[in-house]
Amino acid sequence: MATKLPTSAHTGRPWRIHEIAGDFRVEDVWAFRTPGAGPGDFAAMLAAMRAAGGPARQTAPVRFLFAVRWKLGALLGWDTPEAGTGGRVDSLRRRMPADLREAPQGPDDPDMPLKPLYELDDEAARELANKTVHTVMHLSWVAAGDGDHELRMAVLVKPNGTFGRLYMAGIAPFRHLLVYPALTRQWERAWREFGPAGPEAKPAGSTGRVPAGAVARAVGSRVPPRLRALSSMPDFDYADAFSLATDSAERTPEQWARAMFGDVPGPGERLIWRGLLGLRLDYRRGPDTVAGWRVAARGEDWIRLETASWFLTGNLVVRTAEGRVTLVTFLRYDRLLGRIVWPPLSAVHRGLVPGVLRGAAAKSR
């Protein structure tokens, strides 16, 4: 879980935000866990947070809370353009020195109420203004006590008079009981699922061999390009990759694939692949199939299996390199049903794959 930090954890560091928000009050400072993160991973963390989605991907109670807030704002005129930056208050961009104005801002997502100010190598800031408050969300990247780096968030506020101070006091319990715990789950999960400590990567700062049995993963855009290039589908809609550190270097990619899935599909594979996804499987044992999937292509250190149903097409790629075996899954949604069926099943899939890899490794002992 996230850790609440004292105000000095933010004010005691030489962040650039101090140059333009010195008249703002530090409302909260939090640290979020990012295991294995290194000093150069801040941009990857920001990308992971964006990949995980914004408020629309929060829990139902948090979405309801925000819906009530925006409805009240619409009824009472809290969020009109005149009450925002460029209206009631100037944007902090007007205070920024030339080098900050020329720095990258970060993407301006229309679904994100907070608008970008800047993104640097180790800090980023966004602002929001309405009739109640002018606020800044400051994100930073700090070395933690365990040798990793961690994400920190500071909330800076400048309330609009007595009304703004009463508003901030009124929403404080909701922030601490609902919003911050939900953010913690979303952002820490984003690091685990989309962060750079993915397949075929050593942990940050590591100079030695990754321990046998350790599994790393990447989902979506975090799948490395060298693995994405092994798909037969340049237009795939879903990708994930799981990599197991192993001492069983003598196996070929095909032997690993057969150890994972068998020569013919078993009851579990038939249930998921055939029953739920409708994939066409060959139930005959032979050199050209693995667990019913067709062996479509192979290289010196990889093999690609392919099959399809009437609503999606799939690739499974097994690669062996540098003391690791990696399983990559690619799917293309050929019909709308694919977009409906796979997302909920993908969570089950991602939970099962580490066991599949470890089970295959155990068969060699």
Rounded to whole angstroms, the Cα distance separating 27 from 45 reads: 23
Domains of the chain, first to last: 3-194 (no CATH), 215-362 (3.30.530)
Give the C-alpha distances (Å, rounded to integers) separating 317 from 224, 231, 299, 351.
Answer: 13, 7, 11, 18
The 3 state secondary structure assigned to 276-313 is HCCCCCCCCCCCCEECCEEEEEECCCEEEEEEECCCEE
The contacts of residue 163 (CB under 8 Å, 6+ apart) are 131, 132
Q: Which residue has the tokens 């006091």?
A: 169
From first to last of its 365 residues, what are the pLDDT tens digits of the chain? 678 999 999 999 999 999 999 999 999 999 998 887 788 888 888 887 887 776 667 778 888 888 898 899 999 999 998 888 988 999 999 999 999 999 988 888 777 789 999 999 999 999 999 999 999 999 999 998 767 889 999 999 999 999 999 999 999 998 888 888 888 888 888 887 665 545 555 443 333 344 455 677 788 877 888 888 999 998 899 999 988 887 765 789 999 999 999 999 888 888 999 999 999 999 999 999 999 999 999 998 999 999 999 999 999 999 998 788 999 999 999 999 999 999 989 988 988 898 899 899 888 65
pLDDT at 248: 64
pLDDT at 313: 96
Question: Is residue 138 within 8 Å of 153, Cβ to Cβ?
Answer: yes
- This prediction's pTM: 0.58
**AA letter at 251:** R
